[in-house]
Amino acid sequence: MATLTDDELARIKSEVFDNLLGLGAVPYFDVRTLYPVIRDNVESSTVAATTSTTSVTSPGATSITLASATGYVAGQRIVLDVDDARETVTIRSISGSVVSVVCRKAHAGTYPVEVESALTLVRGYLSDLITLEQRERDLYTSAGVKRVDEIEFFGRSEGGDALSRTQETRNALRAKLASALNLTRVMSEMKGRADAAMGSSGAVEIY
């Protein structure tokens, strides 16, 4: 079975506000040794991942052909594709290597297919967090001070609310990721430290 990679582990540590130092820093810094345990115990399904090249051009009921259907059965939840094209569907029926599903997104080329598992769930959270981080960066280029003389910020109807909603959604996803990996206490502690550091530096909060 597949498990999380060290690179994915670094992203998890970043999202829960923990430091990114390697285990070699343990004798010198406050580095948590729980992460290798998490890495090795967030596992994929025992059913091997496969691929499909069946194009899905519009939402709705459709059939896709798997490169290998060994272990796949009706009623299983499977994850199709990656990044923004990723979605989870349920196998309605299966005949040979052809599975019937209901898709909400389009899929093209050769895309991965695997049974939903602890690994796909955690990787899904990470993918969504990366998408939100990129959206947040784009919003920062358009959000900010509207008038300097009176320090007037953009209002909700002018796009100022989009950044706030994105940040709230990202924080909610971080909380789900931390809960899934039993890191809620770690995230709370590390976020508290970060907030304290920001407060002592006189940072300005954007409303």
For 49, the 3-state DSSP assignment is: coil
Give residue 110's pLDDT: 98
Residue 58 and residue 106 in contact, taking contact as beta carbons nearer than 8 Å: yes
- At 171, which helix (H) or strand (E)? helix 160-180
- In angstroms, the CA 80 to CA 89 distance is 8
What tens-digit pLDDT sequence spans the chain (207 residues)?
899 999 999 999 999 999 999 888 888 887 888 999 999 999 999 999 999 999 999 999 999 999 999 999 999 999 999 999 999 999 999 999 999 999 999 999 999 999 999 999 999 999 999 999 999 888 877 665 555 455 455 555 555 588 888 989 999 999 999 999 999 999 999 988 888 887 754 444 443
d(CA 183, CA 44): 20
pTM: 0.84
Check if the beta carbon of residue 80 is closer than 8 Å to that of residue 111: yes
Strands (E) located in the chain: 50-52, 60-65, 77-80, 87-90, 93-95, 98-103, 111-115, 145-147, 152-153
Rounded-to-integer distance, Cα 122 and Cα 43, Å: 10
Q: Please report, for the chain, the start and end positions of each structural domain, with discontinuous segments joined by +.
A: 6-43+118-200, 50-115
Measure the CA dihedral 40/172/179/38, to 10°: 10
DSSP-assigned states of every residue in 185-206: HHHHHHHHHHHHHHHHTTPPPP
